[in-house]
A = this chain, B = another copy of it.
């Protein structure tokens, strides 16, 4: 929880990356564009972009061999807003709350006993479930089902919920875990 915030700050806490964000605020840029504007070598820019992408702050669109990078203003807004949520800063208290919920719904063997009906509790459980997936790895639908079924038999419902909360993404039958900065708190909008 506060972990997400820490990674966000780390990503922004470097002059080169902050300048990249500033440049992308004006519009799409290629790696070469950025390298020229910042007076850095391309590998260095790639490195910084990878960090920003890992936080979901930057998205990419391929066009031939060049890749156009853009700023995700939504993610930026969501993350910076989180700074002011007392629970985010008050850290331990919030995390303890989550743990209490999990202790209630997850048995000693790490299996989900029942899917909570209350929205807030269900979100806590979904976050726990989403963290079972490795970031930056692609899963087939059957792999997703297998991973979920290790924890609860109703993989269809849970898979759908994970996608609905923007914790997993799906395209052409392939799934992957989205950065936590994208995860929705409340549920599908």
Contacts and interface: CB of A to CB of B under 8 A. Distances in A.
Interface residues of A, number: 27
A30 interface: no
A10 B83 CA distance: 14
A6 interface: yes
Interface in A59-97: 76-77, 80-81, 83-84, 86, 89-93
Contact of A89 (B5, B6, B9, B21): B21
Interface stretch (A11-19, A123-131, A140-148, A179-187): A11-19
A115 B147 CA distance: 68
Contacts of A19: 2, 91
A25 interface: yes
A13 B13 CA distance: 6
Contact of A13 (B6, B15, B80): B6
Nearest to A82: B80
Contacts of A92: 22
A25 B15 CA distance: 28
B89 A25 contact: yes
Nearest to A10: B13
A28 to B, nearest CB: 15
Interface of A: 2, 5-6, 9-10, 12-15, 18-19, 21-22, 25-26, 76-77, 80-81, 83-84, 86, 89-93
